């Protein structure tokens, strides 16, 4: 199904026991090798930009060596996990590559998560090291609740009882390459699930290498590119599509701490950014800025979007304002280490009703409810295989078996493939809300609401929103006492990431509508 011209040599290989997957024949042996190759090729090239701080690849590499050596000195062994509660900043890049150079596994934590989510992810992963921003210290669980933690490091002002991250940045002798198998886990990224509990997708050395190579090849990225990191670095898009893709290409990563449209435009203009990947809402917010035309964005040549459909009006407006900008749709997930399809550059408007063409390693099948492939053009669930697909879910064999079949990940999306090989996404099979590109699974929010002593039952659905795509709407039946919408939001805010907190709360005085099997009829709620 792949039809990219001049694609690097490909072959099928046996991996993960029962998988036969398509891979690039020639590739780095792991994530650390990507960085080492780029440093050897061009050590003086600009690598990282954070405010007024600018580092070359040689300087980046020395910082990575220091972090790796510091962790090893603390007894950190290959396969150990290190959790990172860090935003878009230099220290995130140092920590990710440093942990991997030491042979460890990175567990990125979203800085919008609250203590219960952070506690679950650290405990489930068994992380022995935590590196966090000191301004988030009040969200760090106690050692009693996460007994696996042995060492914590704070970035920023000192935190009592915690070592400063600067301790890990002391100059150190170069660290030898730690031999880790391609199939070994490099990153555990937690994704919310339909059961209400997050699942840790195991992104392997191989899957991350494949995905970085996909971005570089499909988008023609090179050492002259400058990527603006406007999405969270802790998400698969920021980690792989921006940071790791730039390391592979030998280009520069520019960090934006928090996305604000006016600041994004100013930074993109100042730093001559050439590439980024964002959700459609972020492009719309940029276009709404009255000062848009005042910025010189002529260097911006590649702009990706994903997570939700891009309005054709936005595509045309961007083409009018930025004629040199080539847009592309990108469809993927945490479980596929980011891209599974990409729209070839220059075809964004012509293929606006698709999510692009499968990337070289992707093997996409459309299947019915019985797991049988349907004829081309017919709709069914999108299953995705290939060397870029995660190995499964950490410490959750049941979820792995339920969501993977012989290495094909069940996306939960309903789609079809056109005659010319483009993929269309028609509907969602899973009960998921897409809020500005952030996935909010109804079951996770409902699980929190179910623990409120005054709530009898609750259901969460998505409501269309012109800017964010969807917002979250909770329907609540009170069991006892009285509640306000603000009290319910405050209850959720203490337990969930802020983007998962219901935007709207509707109180009902009758039990929620159900079908004959007792399942809540959410379609009826959405029509209210």
Q: Which uninterrupted H or E stretch holds 53? A: strand 53-56
pLDDT for res 421:
93
Residue 242 in contact with residue 254, Cβ under 8 Å?
no
pLDDT for res 469:
85
Strands, E assignment, 146-283: 151-155, 163-164, 185-191, 199-204, 226-229, 252-255, 275-278
pLDDT for res 521:
81
Instruction: List the chain residues with pLDDT less than 50.
Output: 1, 517
pLDDT for res 1:
46
pLDDT for res 100:
98
Counting Cα atoms < 13 Å in the Cβ hemisphere of 437 gives: 24
What does the DSSP 8-state code read for residue 372? Answer: P
Length of the chain: 528
Work out the end-to-end distance of the chain between its first and last CA atoms, rounded to an integer number of angstroms.
42
- What tokens appear for 349 in the block? 């408007």
pLDDT for res 42:
97
> Domains, the chain, ranges and CATH?
10-417 (3.40.50.12780), 432-526 (3.30.300.30)
pLDDT for res 195:
58
């Amino acid at each position: 199904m792949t039809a990219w011209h001049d694609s690097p040599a490909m072959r099928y290989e046996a991996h993960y026991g029962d998988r036969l997957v398509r891979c690039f024949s020639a590739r780095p042996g792991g994530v650390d090798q990507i960085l080492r190759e780029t440093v050897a090729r061009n050590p003086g090239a600009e690598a990282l930009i954070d405010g007024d701080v600018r580092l070359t690849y040689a300087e980046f590499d020395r910082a990575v060596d220091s972090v790796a050596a510091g962790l090893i000195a603390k007894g950190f062994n290959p396969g150990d996990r290190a959790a990172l509660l860090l935003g878009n900043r230099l220290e995130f890049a140092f920590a990710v590559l440093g942990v991997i150079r030491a042979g460890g596994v990175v567990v990125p934590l979203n800085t919008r998560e609250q203590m219960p989510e952070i506690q679950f992810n650290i405990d489930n992963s068994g992380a022995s090291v935590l590196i966090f921003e000191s301004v988030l210290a009040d969200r760090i669980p106690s050692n009693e609740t996460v007994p696996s933690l042995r060492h914590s490091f704070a970035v920023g002002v000192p935190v009592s009882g915690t070592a400063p991250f600067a301790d890990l940045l002391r100059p150190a002798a170069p660290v030898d390459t730690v031999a880790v198998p391609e199939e070994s886990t490099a990153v555990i990224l937690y994704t919310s699930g339909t059961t209400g509990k997050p699942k840790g997708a195991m992104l392997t050395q191989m899957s991350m290498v494949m995905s970085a190579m996909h971005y570089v090849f499909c988008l023609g990225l090179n050492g002259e590119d400058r990527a603006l990191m406007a999405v969270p670095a802790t998400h698969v898009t920021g980690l792989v599509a921006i940071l790791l893709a730039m390391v592979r290409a030998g280009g520069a990563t520019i960090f934006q701490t928090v996305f604000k449209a006016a600041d994004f435009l100013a930074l993109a203009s100042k730093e001559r950014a050439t590439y980024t990947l964002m959700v459609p809402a972020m492009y719309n917010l940029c276009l709404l800025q009255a000062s848009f035309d005042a910025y010189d964005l002529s260097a911006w040549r590649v702009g990706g979007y994903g997570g939700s459909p891009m309005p054709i009006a936005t595509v045309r407006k961007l083409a009018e304002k930025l004629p040199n900008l080539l847009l592309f749709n990108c469809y993927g997930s945490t479980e596929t280490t980011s891209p599974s399809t990409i729209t070839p550059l220059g075809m964004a408007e012509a293929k606006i009703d698709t999510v692009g063409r499968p990337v070289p390693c992707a093997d996409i099948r459309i299947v019915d409810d019985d797991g049988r492939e349907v004829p081309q053009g017919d709709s069914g669930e999108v299953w995705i295989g290939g060397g870029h697909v995660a190995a499964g879910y950490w410490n959750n064999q049941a979820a792995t078996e339920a969501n993977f079949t012989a290495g094909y990940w069940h996306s939960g999306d309903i789609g079809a493939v056109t005659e010319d090989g483009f993929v269309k996404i028609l509907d969602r099979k899973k009960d998921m809300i897409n809020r500005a590109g952030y996935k909010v699974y109804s079951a996770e929010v409902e699980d929190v609401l179910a623990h409120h002593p005054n709530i009898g039952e609750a259901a969460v659905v998505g409501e269309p929103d012109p800017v964010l795509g969807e917002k979250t709407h909770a329907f609540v039946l009170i069991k006892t006492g009285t509640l306000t919408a603000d009290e319910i939001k405050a209850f959720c805010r203490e337990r969930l990431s802020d983007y998962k907190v219901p935007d709207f709360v509707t109180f009902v005085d009758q039990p929620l509508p159900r079908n004959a099997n007792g399942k809540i009829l959410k379609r009826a709620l959405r029509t209210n």
